């Protein structure tokens, strides 16, 4: 999860988030090089009165400054399209969880089980135990197995919501009457926090998401105890 005064992204916990971080660094480096070049040229023009007449009206220069930006855009677009297709790819999920957004809580249903569903409300500040996080803890966590392809079906029963877990690279809108889906995979266990990322009313800030990823054996024990 994020820590105070953090400037960058949260640590990646899924292969998709690792790809997103690499793409961010790749694009940021291109932008840095372009900005440096433009700043250098501007400072050069302002600091000297000399003008090279051959560059004022040259077909070669116009060709370069037309073709070069096109090449740069291609270098940005190709990795971006690759990641977009990877994010939409859902290959034989082993578990499906349906998430419904409400004002102002989340409800979850494990569709592969006959009767496994629950609501997830934020724990009020006055009820927090030592070490628990304000505005992020819930009374019922979403328990999922690690190293498993999981499909999340996301919708809403009232207004627009957005189910987002930054460390997993997930952010999917919950729209009334529409069923969106996202894929989720994590190679290591842990607690991962998120929040509703769509302004949905007065208590928008009080819709946290907590995923507890555990080994498969622990998940089976938990699911058995919930049935």
For residue range 165-215, what is the model confidence (pLDDT) as tens digits? 999 999 999 999 999 999 999 999 999 999 999 998 888 989 999 999 999
C-alpha of 224 from chain center: 31
The residue that leads in pLDDT, 227 or 53, is 227
Query: Within 13 A of 62's CA, how many CA atoms are on the CB side?
Result: 5
Identify the band that residue 51 occupies on the pLDDT scale cut at 50, 70 and 90: low
Identify the band that residue 64 occupies on the pLDDT scale cut at 50, 70 and 90: confident
- The pLDDT score that the predictor gives to residue 140 is 92
- The pLDDT score that the predictor gives to residue 176 is 94
**199: region left, alpha or beta (phi > 0 left; psi from -120 to 50 alpha):** beta
Percent of the chain with pLDDT over 90: 63
pLDDT, tens digit (0-9, with 9 covering 90-100), for 68-79:
999 999 999 999
pTM: 0.83
Q: Which domains does the chain have, with CATH numbers?
A: 15-88 (1.10.287.90), 95-226 (2.60.40.420)
């Amino acid at each position: 999860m994020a820590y105070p005064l953090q400037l960058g992204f949260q640590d990646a916990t899924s292969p998709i988030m690792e790809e997103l971080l690499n793409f961010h660094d790749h694009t940021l480096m291109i932008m840095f090089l372009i900005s440096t070049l433009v700043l250098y040229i501007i400072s050069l023009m302002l600091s000297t009165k000399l003008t090279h007449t051959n560059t004022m009206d040259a077909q070669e220069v116009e060709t370069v400054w037309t073709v070069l930006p096109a090449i740069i855009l291609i270098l940005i677009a190709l990795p971006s399209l690759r990641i977009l297709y990877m994010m939409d790819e859902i290959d034989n999920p082993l578990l499906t969880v349906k998430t419904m957004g409400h004002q102002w809580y989340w409800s979850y249903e494990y569709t592969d089980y006959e009767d496994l569903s629950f609501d997830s409300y934020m724990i009020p500040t006055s009820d927090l135990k030592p070490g628990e996080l304000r505005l992020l803890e819930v009374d019922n966590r979403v328990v999922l197995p690690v190293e498993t392809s999981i499909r999340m079906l996301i919708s809403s029963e009232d207004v627009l919501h957005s189910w987002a877990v930054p460390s997993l690279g997930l952010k999917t809108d919950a729209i009334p009457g529409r069923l969106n889906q996202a894929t989720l995979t994590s190679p290591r266990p842990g607690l991962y926090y998120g929040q509703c990322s769509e302004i949905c009313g007065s208590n928008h800030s009080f819709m946290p998401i907590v995923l507890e990823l555990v080994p498969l054996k622990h998940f089976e024990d938990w699911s058995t105890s919930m049935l």
